[in-house]
Amino acid sequence: MKILQINTERTWRGGERQTLYTLEGLRAAGIETGLLCRRDYPMAQAAADLGISIHAVDGQAGAMAFLAGSGARAYDLLHAQTAKGQSLAVLTRPAHRRPLLYTRRVNFAPSGRLTLLKYRLTERTVAISRAIRDTMADFGIPDIEVISSTVKERQLDKLRAADFAAKHNLAGKRIIATTGDMVPQKDPVTMVETIGHLKRLRRDFVFLHFGNRQMIDQVAPRIRELDLENHYLPLGHHDRVEDFFLLFDVFLITSNETEGLCSSIYDAFIYRVPVVSTLAGGMYDSVADRGLTCGPREPECLAGQIDLMLNDPAQAQILSDKAYQWARASVTIPAITERYLAVYNDMIGGR
């Protein structure tokens, strides 16, 4: 069995990390796999560091040329990890004639006849949450299997975390944090409002927001209006951000209904950080009984749940232990790789 993963994104976000974990899991399972990606971007570098066979192209035209040429025909199955990858594989399918699997990670409602045709020309679609599956069923794509995102537990760098804490003067403070880009589905405005409400309840904390700052122009004015400059730190992207989970007292998620699944919640689970989250989109599957929850766009409720978590360390420990045990059993790389291998084998059959 030879599987080609397709991810031509320039950025490094959750989907790219999940692509890397897929490659890593397949390699550990003894499956020959390759990656079609953009040259000199983070996805290519991360896969090369793992020793994965990469097919690097300069853009979408190069990716189409590869898929339409002999390169794709060297593989038994194509696995598109992004919507762009799915489109490229569908457009070139008369040339490569290979079965196509697409993993859908977003919960935006699709529309249009061409989009529907694209899905009907995709042999299998996997959704990373039941919310996405239900959205696709409403669009007319039934029988979608749900396979969650995955998580990798690694040894954390205590010295790096300590240096970071010293640099940002975090000693003696309760640390609330999130690791997610400022994008609409994460609802960073509600996140700021939540911290504003929390400041009315207590002053002994700081909130650390790790992630690219696409919506900072909307977020920064509200931080100033609520006088949160000393409590809300938008820190941007950091490599190996998992090291800083050693510092966190609570992990906060404020995603709305368009969130497919916030995979960073699994980092919180695996590193035993208690979670306060909205029950929106794909979050229900993960956090329903493993953290404290509120509805979307309920900042006052979220602030109250954070306060409860900080005031009741015994309950926080019970929830974080429960989340850790579930993550270890259900969403580690070997567990999710086994699910994908079953799909691959079913699709390829006797090929």
Work out the pLDDT band at 288, boundaries 50, 70, 90: confident
Residue 349 DSSP code: T
Q: What is the DSSP string of 3-70?
A: EEEE---SS-SHHHHHHHHHHHHHHHTT-EEEEEEETTSHHHHHHHHTT-EEEEESSHHHHHHHHHSH
Average pLDDT value for residue range 298-321: 97
The token duo for 107 is: 């919960």
pLDDT given for residue 351 in this prediction: 52
pLDDT for position 340: 97
Whole-number pLDDT of residue 213:
86
Residues 68 and 224: their CA atoms lie apart, in Å, by 52
- Whether residue 350 has pLDDT greater than 90: no
Domain ranges in the chain are: 2-150+332-348, 158-330
Q: What percent of the chain has pLDDT over 90?
A: 89
Does position 8 have pLDDT exceeding 70, yes or no? yes
Residue 282 has a pLDDT of 84
| Average confidence score pLDDT of the chain | 94
Q: What is the pLDDT of residue 13?
A: 87
Interatomic CA distance for residues 191 and 302, integer angstroms: 9
- Tell me, yes or no, if the two domains 2-150+332-348 and 158-330 fold the same way: yes
What are the tens digits of pLDDT across the range 176-233? Answer: 999 988 999 999 999 999 999 999 999 999 999 999 888 999 899 999 999 999 999 9
**What is residue 5's predicted lDDT score, i.e. its pLDDT?**
98
Tokens of 9: 């994104």
**Is pLDDT of 3 > 70?**
yes
Q: What pTM was estimated for this model as a whole? A: 0.90
Instruction: Name which CATH class applies to 158-330.
Output: alpha beta
pLDDT tens per residue across span 92-142: 999 999 999 999 999 988 999 999 999 999 999 999 999 999 999 999 998
CATH topology of domain 2-150+332-348: Rossmann fold (3.40.50)
Say if residue 280's pLDDT is above 90: no
What local confidence, expressed as pLDDT, does residue 18 receive? Answer: 96
Q: DSSP assignment of 144-168, as one string?
A: PEE----B------HHHHHHHHHHT
Instruction: Check: CB of residue 68 under 8 Å from CB of residue 90.
Output: no
